[in-house]
Amino acid sequence: MALNIKKIIANTLLKLVDSYPLEKITVTMIINESGIGRQTFYNHFKDKNDLVYWIFLRTLSGEKEMMDKAGLEAYITKLYEEAREYRHFLNEACRQEGQNSLTEAICKQTYNYYRNYIIKHYSEETINEELEYALRFNAYGAAYQYVRWAEEEMPGEPGTQAEYTLKCMPEILKSYLPLKM
């Protein structure tokens, strides 16, 4: 039941973003448009930024299993393709700054995704100081490029963006992640 309510709230925000800048949309607007109660909103989300991040995770974060099945290039290409589908929302969301910004959340999500993949397929001990540095460097750089691409109205094709991402990846990281299958 909770998942359906979350989807209703998320779809309401996506609809509102078509008519209003994200920064102008309030929780009150979301609850009025969706027909839910204020407490229902707060039972499911901490605030509007939490909702924005939830939408990102559900619609713009690709299929995590895809990296195991098709490789990192296919996964990243899918992320960029999905971004195009939700371009207006993503563009608005990435412009938000401050505490709990989507940009920071994307950086953390990218870092955690790569790190967890390495731990799952190798071990926690694999992550030494050099690999940790490469993880942070790459995850934050790749995430910021993704955000910049969204803010610049998404020039270039998703596959090309994925190719650039892989070319810029540190060699040590490439040895632990499946680039292509």
**Which residues, including other chains, have CB under 8 Å from residue 28's CB and lie 6 or more apart?**
38
Domain spanning 54-174: which superfamily? Tetracycline Repressor, domain 2 (1.10.357.10)
Full-model pTM: 0.79
Tell me what pLDDT residue 20 has: 94
Instruction: Tell me whether residue 24 is exposed, middle or buried, using C-beta atoms within 10 angstroms of its C-beta: 0 to 12, 13 to 18, 19 or more.
Output: exposed
Tell me what pLDDT residue 61 has: 60
**pLDDT beneath 70: ranges in the chain:** 1-3, 59-64, 98-100, 181
Tell me what pLDDT residue 1 has: 47
Architecture per CATH, 2-45: Orthogonal Bundle (1.10)
Query: Hey, where are the domains in the chain?
Result: 2-45, 54-174
Tell me what pLDDT residue 3 has: 53
Calculate the alpha carbon distances from 167 to 94, 141, 170, 176 in Å: 24, 12, 8, 15
